[in-house]
Structure formats: C-alpha cells, structure tokens
Amino acid sequence: MFSKEEIAERINRIREDNGFPTVPFVIDEVRYDEEEDKLFIIAKDRSDKSAIIGNSFVIGKLREELGIKQVTVYSKLDLIIKRKKLEENLRRIKDTLLDFLAPIIEAELNFPPRKWPTLHNNGRALVFLSFNAKAMVGFAEKVGLEAERVGIKYTFPKMEHAPIEGSLRELFFPDEEKLRKIAQERNIKIIIADFPFDLKFLDNVALLNPLKFLHIGFFEAKYFFGFEKPVRIDKDAMIDFIVDMVAEGLMESTDGANLIWWAMKK
C-alpha cells in the first residue's frame, strides 16, 4: 500500500515545510498492517531512525497525512538484535516448563507487526506488580497463565492484587528470594516481574521478565498491554531502572526523560 520511496518523500517535505533541517536518511523497508491500520518504517540504522522520527513531530504529521492509526519507526539493527535474542531464548526454553512460550517467540520473530497466537490453560504464575505492572499482567493473560497478583502496598491502587510488605525500590528491582518464597508457598513455578534479567531458573522456579525476554520496548508494551504509573516510587531506583532500559534499547531516551521529569515532580 505504501512504498518506501513515497514515505521518504513525504518525510522530507514535512521536514522542509516545518523548518526542520534537511538530513539524509535511508528507509530499508515499510510494512503496513491493514488489520490494525499501523505503518512500520524500518530505517537502515539508528541515526536514520532518529532523522525520520524528527522529535516525534515529523512522524505525528506523517500519520495525520496518511490518515492511519499509528506510525512506528524501528532500525534494522534493533530488529536484528531482537531476532538474535529471540532465537537464543527459543533454545533456552526447550524442554523446560516455559516451552509453551515457543509459539509466542516464533510470532515475535516476524515482528513487526505483532501477531500472537491465542494460548490457553498454561497453569498459574505469580505476577508481581512492578513498574510495568500492566505489561506483566497482560503478558501472563495473553500466554494463557492464570495471574496471581501481588504488589507492594499502596503502589497500584487501581489494580487488583494481594498487598505485601516491601520497599519501593522493589518496584524497579524485585526481591527474587521474597517472590520465590511466596511462589513456593502457593506451589507456583513461574514468577513474572520487572527483573533486571530476562530469565533465570531458581530451584525449579522460572523468574521471567517478559519485556527483556522478548525484547519488547516500553513504547510497544504501553500500546500492547497498557501502562499505569505507580502512585508511590523510589526516585533513585526509578532513575537507575530507566537508565538500564535506555541502555538496553528498550526505552527511547525521550520517554525516559519524560518519566524522570514526572518522578522528580512527585
């Protein structure tokens, strides 16, 4: 429906019409998801991606011109990194209690767009309401897990969960041992939270951060699962968390800056 030449021409004109400097960029590919009305622009590298986005203004104008629901830009390098990680994780879960996630990984190998199969009856998971709480719960539900939610008291009052004691730092760096004990008491073998790693097996219990495991960025997760800010935070821990997300390529620096600005005003 859209050619990369047409999209490049429109971007250049929008930049020129709105006083942005003319900068060279290369579009490697464009993909249009007709079902979801979303356009995916795949830039050659990260500098091309930055030039195309134009501080979000250019992409916003492009979306308006095209009259479509959403325009998202990725770099080919980011997709290559994601693919390598997915292929590695597909091997890691083989013949484990997480092997039911194979169809999800295989679907992500074709991203974008994101087309997950429907999974059912894959048991229970302890879901800790950490910073990306909605993504943690949403992931569990989408892969057919019954989510037993727990969270630090008074952090996510709008989300149903069993409150537990803990520090606000745990919103960003969950206490592995505490959660493992809770899971063990409930005879649960899967724990989902914003862990600082993608996957770890501890005493036959899988500790999983689905965003890192599937290399899904904050922006994507927000639109796929939803996002709700915690009402109480540890500011220093949040900054460390965001810096790590940006460094891993899972959060745009502008999103990180906006979140830090929000935190500093609290």
| φ and ψ at residue 27, rounded to 5 degrees | -100, 120
Q: Are strands 38-43 and 70-75 parallel, antiparallel or unpaired?
A: parallel
pLDDT value of residue 44:
93
Domain 4-78 has CATH 3.30.300.20: yes
pLDDT value of residue 242:
97
**In the chain, pLDDT over 70 holds for what percent of residues?**
100
What single-letter DSSP state applies at residue 40? Answer: E
**In the chain, pLDDT over 90 holds for what percent of residues?**
90
What is the pTM assigned to this prediction? 0.93
Taking 80 as the threshold, does the pLDDT of residue 1 lie above it?
no
Domain residue extents for the chain = 4-78, 113-265
Residue with tokens 């080919």: 76
68-104 in b/e burial notation, b at 16+ Cβ within 10 A?
Answer: beebbbbbbebbeebeebbeebbeebeeeebebbeeb
Q: Which residues contact 112 (CB under 8 A, 6 or more apart)?
A: 31, 33, 38, 40, 42, 72, 74
State pLDDT tens for residues 36-82: 999 999 999 988 998 888 778 899 999 999 999 999 999 999 999 99
pLDDT value of residue 53:
86
pLDDT value of residue 266:
77
CATH class of 113-265: alpha beta
